[in-house]
Structure 1
Amino acid sequence: MIPKIIQGGDFSDHRGTISFVNDFSFKDIERFYIISNSDENPIRAWQGHKLDAKNFYCLNGSFKIHFVKIDNWENPSKDLIVETIIVSASDSKIVHIPSGYANAIESLEKDSKLISFSTLPLSNVSDDDVRFVADYWKING
């Protein structure tokens, strides 16, 4: 499986706005959390997931979601291609990053918030989560 964007939309009238991503299924979601990076450290990098798939939706502000397909969990190549997708609160979409990838989350605005839906139960996270130093892969502009 490859990363993909699940596009949503919004509807506005005199009562306000409803944002939605109707093609996203919660069938395999086990938990969620909300990410707010500090102003001093706007990049949270790199977290790899052997089994867990991540689904990101921007609640406020905007983010760059960087990701790499891991070639070897014990010693991944430093030459892996970093791909990037921008998400913002004004564009209702979910970015699906399947298992087998590492990701980095970069906030682009003050007070940005990102919700992450995870497919792995919390009891299995210690077997799945692989951390890499923040500069393991170069993030381009």
Structure 2
Amino acid sequence: MEKAHLKTGSDHIDERGALRFFNNFNMEEVVRFYEIAPSSTAIIRAWQAHKEEKKWFYCHSGSFMVKLFKIDDFENPSPGLAVETFALNESDPMILVVPGGYANGFKAQAEGSKLMVFSNFSVSESQKDDFRYPLDQWPIKW
């Protein structure tokens, strides 16, 4: 089974400006995308999970802390699951790949941060594969 991981992008800067690219990101699976722009750094968006839906997270403005849990039982997940933490920021071109089977949560680390989220499911498919857990499901430090 695929694990959550980072895909490294690259950039090129010259007198004309900057170019950021992800030539190793095959977008054939992507069906839709959306942008999340939290109103403040105090907001924590957690926990949403999908058994099958795959997502890709890209921070193009500011920075985010993203936390993931590999879910063992979607109806009654264990309280002691190990957390995986990823830092995404605009100055380091990275895409976080999150296959199905994970719960995700994230928090902006800088005002004005924006996160692009790509998905391989339509909205209606995603809604049928959606699991939500309370913020205090896993007591972690943000």
Contact conserved, 2:51 with 2:101, CA < 8 A, in 1? yes
Tell me the CA shift for residue 119 of structure 1: 0.8
Any idea what the Cα deviations from partners look like across 1:18-67, whole Å, max 9, x if unmatched? Answer: 11111111010010010111216421000001111110000100001100
- Indicate the larger mover: 79-88 or 119-128: 119-128
Structure 2 portions without partners, runs of 5+: none
The answer to whether the aligner puts 1:114 opposite 2:115 as a matched pair is yes
Contact conserved, 1:6 with 1:94, CA < 8 A, in 2? yes
Q: How many residues align?
A: 141
Which of structure 1's runs of 4+ aligned residues deviate more than 6 A?
Answer: none
Q: Which amino acid aligns with 2:68?
A: F
Q: Which amino acid aligns with 1:77?
A: S
Contact conserved, 1:82 with 1:138, CA < 8 A, in 2? no
Contact conserved, 2:67 with 2:83, CA < 8 A, in 1? yes
1:41, 1:136 → 2: CA distance?
A: 18
2:94, 2:88 → 1: CA distance?
A: 7
Any idea what the Cα deviations from partners look like across 1:50-99, whole Å, max 9, x if unmatched? Answer: 11111000010000110000000110001101110000000001000110
Which residue matches 1:4? 5
The answer to whether the aligner puts 1:63 opposite 2:64 as a matched pair is yes
**TM-score normalised to structure 2 length:** 0.95
Larger helix percent? 2
Q: Which amino acid aligns with 2:131?
A: V
1:125, 1:6 → 2: CA distance?
A: 23
2:45, 2:88 → 1: CA distance?
A: 15
Contact conserved, 2:69 with 2:102, CA < 8 A, in 1? yes
Q: How does 1:1-141 map to 2 (within 5 A)?
A: 1-39=2-40, 41-141=42-142
Structure 1 portions without partners, runs of 5+: none
1:123, 1:28 → 2: CA distance?
A: 16
2:104, 2:15 → 1: CA distance?
A: 39
| Shift in alpha-carbon separation, 1:42–1:10, aligned structure 2, 3 A | same
1:89, 1:125 → 2: CA distance?
A: 27
